[in-house]
Amino acid sequence: GQQVMQIPQYQHVQEGEDFTTYCNSSTTLSNIQWYKQRPGGHPVFLIQLVKSGEVKKQKRLTFQFGEAKKNSSLHITATQTTDVGTYFCAGDWRTGTASKLTFGTGTRLQVTL
Amino acid sequence: DARVTQTPRHKVTEMGQEVTMRCQPILGHNTVFWYRQTMMQGLELLAYFRNRAPLDDSGMPKDRFSAEMPDATLATLKIQPSEPRDSAVYFCASGLVSGAITDTQYFGPGTRLTVL
Over residues A8-19, the pLDDT tens digits come to 999 999 999 999
Q: Give every residue of chain A whose pLDDT is below 70, as ranges.
A: 1, 95-99
Shortest distance between the Cα of B100 and any Cα of chain A, in A, equals: 6
Choosing among B30, B35, B43, B50, which should be mutated to test the A contact, i.e. which has the most A CBs within 10 A?
B43
Q: What is the mean pLDDT of chain B?
A: 92
Residues A63 and A34: their CA atoms lie apart, in Å, by 9
Tell if the CB–CB gap between A100 and B43 is shorter than 8 Å: no
Gap between the Cα atoms of A19 and A61, Å rounded: 10
Residue A45 structural domain: 4-112
Give B10-27 pLDDT, tens digit per residue: 999 999 999 999 999 999
What residue in B sits closest to A46 (Cα-Cα)? B104
Total number of domains constituting chain A: 1
Nearest to A100 among B48, B100, B104 (CB): B48
pLDDT score of A1: 66
Please name the amino acid found at residue B62.
Answer: K
Hey, is B84 helix, strand or coil?
helix
Q: B5-101: what CATH class? A: mainly beta
**Which chain B residues contact residue A99 at CB under 8 A?**
97, 100, 102
CATH code of the domain containing A17: 2.60.40.10
Question: Hey, are the CB atoms on A102 and B45 less than 8 Å from each other?
Answer: yes
Residue B99 has pLDDT above 80, yes or no: no
Does residue A87 contact residue A76 with C-beta atoms inside 8 Å?
no
Task: Answer for the pair A107, A87: CB distance below 8 angstroms, yes or no.
Answer: yes
Q: How far apart are CA B49 and CA B10, in angstroms?
A: 24
Task: Identify all chain A residues contacting B93, using CB atoms and an 8 Å cutoff.
Answer: 43
Confidence at residue B41, expressed as pLDDT on a 0 to 100 scale: 85
- Smallest Cβ–Cβ distance between B43 and the set A31, A88, A98 belongs to A88
C-alpha to C-alpha distance for A102 and B45, rounded to whole angstroms: 7
Closest to B113 in 3D by CA, of B1, B29, B3, B7: B7
Rounded Cα gap, residues A101 and A93, in angstroms: 8
pLDDT(B57) > 60: yes
Question: Would you say residue B97 has pLDDT above 60?
Answer: yes
Sorted by where each begins, the domain ranges of chain B are: 5-101
A35 burial (CB, 10 Å; 0-12 / 13-18 / 19+) is buried
Chain A residues with CB-CB distance to B43 below 8 A? 43, 88, 103, 106
pLDDT of residue A95: 63
Closest CA–CA distance from residue B14 to any residue of chain A (Å): 23
